[in-house]
C-alpha cells in the first residue's frame, strides 16, 4: 500500500488525468443522495460527500441488468458485459467493505460471475474516511472502522489543506504519485496520518463465530420471536449493501427478447416457492433465520468475513423499526 499526501488542488488535478473514466459521486436530490455521473470539475473542493441513501452495490449489481438478448438461442449468443471505465469517489468505508462481501460471492466459490467481474475490474473506488458517525452507523460495534480501506482502491483522509490518500491499487498510486508532496510505503491504516478520525466509546456487538450459530438453526422459538415484528417487505435487503440475491427471468420485446437478472429477496415467499407448491421457507420464521444466518454465519463460514458492514441502512428503512443490533444481542442471549 502506498500513502500519499497531496494538496487538495493537486489531488483534483491528479483525478483530472482519468479523463477516460466516467466519474460517479454521491449527489443530493431533494431528500435522497444517489451516486450520479458528474464531471471532475463538479467535485466539491472540500471532498465531503453525504452518505448515499442506497448502497454502492447499484453500480456493480444493478437492480436490473440484461445478461443477453436473444431471437432464438444460437452458439453466437453474446453476453452484454459492461466495460465502462468508472471512477467512483465519495463512498464510505462501509460501502467498500460491502464490495469485499460481494466479491466473495461473485468472484469466489469456484465460479466467476463475468458481469460483476467486468464492472468491478473496470471501476476505481475512492472512499472518504467518515468525519462523524451518523445516528444509525455501527461499523465500530462490529470491529470495523470509519477509516479503513477495506475493498476500495484508495481511501481519502481529510488533513485540512491537504489530503492523505492510502492507495491499495498500484495503478492509481502511480498516477497520484506525480502530484504528491510526500509518499511512503505502509502496511495498514494505523501507520498513516488519518486526520481527525471520529471515535467514540462503543460496546462491541456479541457476534459469535459462524459455527457457534449453527445449533440455532434448529431453535424455532428464537425465529418465531423475531419474525413476529417483521412485515416481510424486503426493504432491508434492497438497501443492504451486501444483499446480492437475484432472480433470472426472460422479457419479450416483440420479435426479440432479453434475459435479465433483477434483485430478489429472501424475505419474499416467491423466492423459494417451487412449482409443486412446496416452499422450503414457507413463513417469515424461516426467512428471518435465512437472512440473519446468511449475514452472521454462512458468509463468515464460507468466506471468512462478516456479511454485515454496520452501515445502518436497514435500521432507517424498516417500517417496523427492527434493529439488527438488537437482533444480534437477542440471538446471543437466547437459551431456548
Partner 1 sequence: MWQPLQDNPYLPIPMRVEEVKFESEDRSLKSLWLSFLTEGKREEFRFRPGQFIELSIPGKGESPFGIASSPEEKLIQITVNKAGSVTKAIHELDKGDIVGLRGPLGNWYPEEEFVGANLFIISGGFAFTTLASFTKHLLREWSDRVKNIDLVYGARTPGMLLYKDLLEEWKNNPRLNLYLTVDREFPGWTGLVGFVPDIVAKVKVDFENTYALICGPPIMIRLTIPKLLEQGIPKNKIYTSLERRMKCGIGKCGRCNIGPKYVCKDGPVFNFAELENLPSEY
- 297 forms part of the interface with partner 1 (CB under 8 A): yes
Q: Is 120 in the site for partner 1 (CB under 8 A)?
A: no
What angle do helix axes 220-227 and 324-333 make, rounded to 10 degrees? Answer: 150
CA distance 87 to 222: 44
* Site for partner 1 contains 208 (CB under 8 A): no
Distance of closest approach, residue 108 Cβ to partner 1, in angstroms? 10
Can residue 29 be called a binding residue for partner 1 (CB under 8 A)?
A: no
The correct pick among 19, 29, 46, 75 for binding partner 1 (CB under 8 A) is 75
Single residue of 172, 205, 293, 308 touching partner 1 by CB under 8 A: 293
Sign of the dihedral defined by the CA atoms of residues 298, 304, 309, 310, in that order = positive
DSSP-derived 3-state class of residue 187:
coil
CA atoms within 13 A on the CB side of 76: 2
Tell me: does residue 66 bind partner 1 (CB under 8 A).
Answer: no
* Residue 104 found at the interface with partner 1 (CB under 8 A): no
Least distance from partner 1 to the Cβ atom of residue 251, Å: 8
Least Å from the CB of residue 240 to partner 1: 12
Nearest CA-CA partner of 97 in 241, 194, 245, 246? 241
Q: Which of 83, 275, 333, 335 binds partner 1 (CB under 8 A)?
A: 275
Is 257 among the residues that bind partner 1 (CB under 8 A)?
yes
For CA atoms 318, 324, 326, 330, give the dihedral sign: positive
Which span sits near partner 1 by CB under 8 A: 13-21, 138-146, 154-162, 278-286?
Answer: 278-286
304 near partner 1 (CB under 8 A)? no
Q: Nearest 5°: CA angle at 155, between 138 and 63? A: 65
Binding to partner 1, residues 141-170 (CB under 8 A): none
3-state secondary structure of 15: helix
Indicate whether 271 belongs to the interface with partner 1 (CB under 8 A): yes
- Pick one of 3, 11, 49, 115: the residue that binds partner 1 (CB under 8 A): 115
Whole-angstrom Cα distance, residue 110 to residue 220?
33
Number of CB atoms found within 10 A of residue 225's CB = 16
Question: Site mask, partner 1, residues 77-96, x = CB under 8 A?
Answer: x-x-----------------
Which of 57, 92, 281, 313 is the binder for partner 1 (CB under 8 A)? 281
Could you tell me how many residues of this chain bind partner 1 (CB under 8 A)? Answer: 54
Is 71 a binder of partner 1 (CB under 8 A)?
yes
The set of residues, in sequence order, having a beta carbon less than 8 Å from that of 83 and lying 6+ positions away, is 118, 122
SS3 state of residue 95: helix
Q: What's the length of the chain?
A: 336
Q: Label residue 30 left, alpha or beta by phi (over 0 means left) and psi (-120 to 50 means alpha).
A: left
Please state the closest distance from residue 235 (CB atom) to partner 1, in A.
18
Does 290 engage in binding with partner 1 (CB under 8 A)?
A: yes
Counting DSSP H helices and E strands in the chain, the numbers are 12, 11
Binding footprint of partner 1 on the chain (CB under 8 A): 67-68, 70-75, 77, 79, 105-106, 109-115, 210, 214, 217-218, 244-250, 252, 257, 259, 261, 264, 266, 271-276, 278, 280-281, 286, 289-290, 293-294, 297-298, 301-302
Amino acid at each position: 500500500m502506498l500513502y500519499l499526501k497531496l494538496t487538495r488542488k493537486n489531488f483534483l488535478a491528479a483525478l483530472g488525468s482519468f479523463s477516460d473514466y466516467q466519474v460517479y459521486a454521491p449527489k443530493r436530490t431533494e431528500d435522497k443522495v444517489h451516486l450520479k455521473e458528474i464531471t471532475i470539475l463538479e467535485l466539491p473542493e472540500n471532498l465531503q460527500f453525504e452518505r448515499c441513501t442506497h448502497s454502492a452495490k447499484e453500480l456493480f449489481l444493478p437492480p436490473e441488468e440484461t445478461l443477453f438478448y436473444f431471437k432464438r438461442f444460437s452458439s453466437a449468443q453474446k453476453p452484454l458485459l459492461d466495460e465502462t471505465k468508472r471512477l467512483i469517489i465519495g463512498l464510505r468505508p462501509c460501502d467498500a467493505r460491502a464490495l469485499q462481501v460481494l466479491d466473495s460471492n461473485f468472484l469466489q466459490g469456484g465460479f466467476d460471475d463475468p458481469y460483476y467481474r467486468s464492472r468491478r475490474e473496470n471501476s476505481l473506488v475512492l472512499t472518504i474516511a467518515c468525519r462523524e458517525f451518523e445516528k444509525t452507523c455501527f461499523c465500530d460495534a462490529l470491529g470495523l472502522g470509519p477509516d479503513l480501506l477495506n475493498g476500495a482502491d484508495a481511501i481519502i483522509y481529510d488533513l485540512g489543506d491537504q489530503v492523505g490518500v492510502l492507495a491499495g491499487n498500484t495503478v492509481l498510486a502511480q498516477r497520484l504519485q506525480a502530484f504528491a508532496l510526500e509518499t511512503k510505503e505502509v502496511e495498514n491504516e494505523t501507520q498513516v496520518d488519518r486526520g481527525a478520525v471520529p471515535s467514540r466509546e462503543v460496546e462491541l456487538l456479541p457476534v459469535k463465530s459462524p459455527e457457534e450459530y449453527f445449533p440455532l438453526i434448529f431453535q424455532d422459538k428464537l425465529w418465531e420471536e423475531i419474525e413476529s415484528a417483521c412485515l416481510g417487505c424486503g426493504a432491508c435487503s434492497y438497501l443492504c449493501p451486501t444483499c446480492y440475491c437475484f432472480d433470472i427471468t426472460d422479457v419479450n420485446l416483440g420479435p426479440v427478447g432479453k434475459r435479465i437478472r433483477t434483485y430478489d429477496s429472501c424475505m419474499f415467499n416467491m423466492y423459494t416457492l417451487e412449482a409443486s407448491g412446496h416452499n422450503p421457507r414457507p413463513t417469515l420464521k424461516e426467512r428471518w433465520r435465512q437472512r440473519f444466518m446468511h449475514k452472521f454465519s454462512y458468509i463468515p463460514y464460507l468466506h471468512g468475513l462478516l456479511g454485515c458492514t454496520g452501515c445502518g441502512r436497514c435500521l432507517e428503512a424498516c417500517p417496523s423499526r427492527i434493529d439488527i443490533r438488537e437482533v444480534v444481542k437477542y440471538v446471543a442471549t437466547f437459551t431456548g
